[in-house]
Amino acid sequence: MITLNGSKKIGIAVFISGKGSNFKSLYKFSKKKNSKFKINLVLSNNINAGGLKFARKRKIKNEIINYKNINLAENKILYILKKNNIQLICLAGFMRILSKKFLKKFKGSVLNIHPSLLPRYKGLNTHIKVIQNRDKYSGCTVHYVNSKLDSGKIILQKKVRVYKRDNPKSLAKRVLSQEHILYPKALNKILINT
């Protein structure tokens, strides 16, 4: 359960595996006056994740989790989250699926951003599927995470037009630029309504 303390911003954790471009857009937004959150922790399963460098430069607490043993990894994550009083997790290109057990034990909310208009194209290779199926629109979705892949309650979506000249790479680029706008907006939306 998320508890907001008057005008105080809620501390969130962002989980990343790569460049962390969505993490960076969340960070930039968190610095705005109207933001309801601040990033207290960045966690990654990848020691070489580009987003970690960004976090360190900005003196944001960061942790690298070894995922060789899922049970140990998730227990360690739960301990770190509790220690840092994290009530909300934002998955931002985190290439690990959180177990049912983890989601049950974590008492806050978990959000994810997915590069398609869910419920269409859950999982990977969404842009390839969109192009192959000649869809007129693609987009991105911010949703709550539950125990089923990309199936949690939708918070916000943004449509992106697919052009005839598009390939998976060009489409991915345009969808990603919309993700950077949508994720902070969705996060702020749920915190305002808390």
Catalytic residue among 114, 127, 143, 180: 114
Tally of CB atoms within 10 A around 187: 26
Q: What burial letters (b/e) apply to 143-156, b meaning 16+ CB within 10 Å? A: bebeeeebebeebb
Percent composition of the chain: helix, strand, coil (DSSP 3-state, to 5): 35, 25, 40
Task: Tell me which H or E stretch contains 64.
Answer: strand 62-64
Q: Which residues pair with 113 in a beta bridge?
A: 142
127 is catalytic: no
Instruction: Report CA dihedral (161, 166, 168, 170) to the nearest 10 degrees.
Output: -80
Closest CA to 90 of 27, 166, 9, 162: 27
Determine the Cα–Cα distance for residues 24 and 42; give it in Å rounded to an integer.
11
Distance in angstroms (rounded) separating the CA atoms of residues 60 and 185: 21
Q: Tell me the catalytic residues.
A: 114
